Chain A
């Protein structure tokens, strides 16, 4: 069974700090997606990484796909309270499963 493990599960930091969250698997994925979910809402797609070693930037967010396409990281520079939310990584499963999700990293940025 394919699994996506995210760490840390919870992160509480001060505004202006940097942070990195991780998404790891023992399986190879053709692509991975990162989503952000705010309370009471559905997840919103942030980015898709496809090529091993790929780095994508979205303003203060930097996403990297591991060379072996088994892991990914999300780095946030100078976090702001608006970054607060649940960050989910996702990838295409096998055996009839479609997109599967990790359990998420819950980020709280204090002003």
Chain B
């Protein structure tokens, strides 16, 4: 069984640029959630995708957007990067719409904005 994989693992961008992060869900999981984790903090919910539709969103501005593909993989896009966007971005997959609350995380993509 393949776990959740994320790419890239590390990247550096400058203010104003755009970034796309990618996630492949665990085999058999149809739900993907994205979280932002700042240094020393717990993960903050960005949004969740279920069967290619957004299925819940946290307190993040519209410049944070996402997609889910028919194979349940997902992308997180962030436009007009700001310094405060520097964080670890975590993708988590779950089965059955994610209602169990049990999430399976990838190792994350660490974004640094200069």
Chain A contacts to B: CB under 8 angstroms:
6, 30-31, 33, 40-45, 48, 88, 90-93, 96-104, 106
Collect the chain A residues with CB atoms within 8 Å of residue B78's CB.
Answer: none
Asked whether A31 and B101 contact (CB < 8 A) given A41-B107, A42-B4, A42-B108, the answer is yes
User: Which residues of A lie under 8 Å from residue B98 when comparing CB positions?
Assistant: 98-99
Q: Please measure, in the bound complex, the distance between the C-alpha atom of A46 and the C-alpha atom of B58, giving whole angstroms.
A: 24
Number of residues from B at the complex interface, CB < 8 A: 27
Chain B residues numbered 75-114 whose CB sits less than 8 Å from any CB in chain A: 90, 92, 98-108
Most buried by A among B35, B43, B104, B105: B43
Binding site for A on B (CB under 8 A): 4, 33, 35, 40-45, 48, 55-58, 90, 92, 98-108
Which residue in chain A gives the minimum CB-CB distance to B97?
Answer: A98
How many angstroms between the C-alpha atoms of A93 and B103 in the bound complex?
14
The answer for the CA separation of A44 and B40 in the assembled complex, in Å, is 17
Q: Which listed residue, A43, A91, A96, A104, touches B56 by the CB 8 Å rule?
A: A96
B48 touches A98 (CB 8 A): yes
Cα–Cα distance between A110 and B42 once the two chains are bound (Å)? 23
With contacts A42-B4, A88-B42 taken as known, whether A99 is within 8 angstroms of B101 at the C-beta atoms is: yes
Once A102-B42, A104-B42 are accepted as A-B contacts, the answer to whether A90 and B101 lie under 8 Å apart by CB is yes
Which A residues touch B55, using CB under 8 A?
Answer: 98
- Select from chain B the residue with minimum beta-carbon distance to A48: B102
Please indicate which of the listed interface residues A88, A93, A98 has the most CB atoms of chain B within 10 Å of its own CB.
Answer: A98
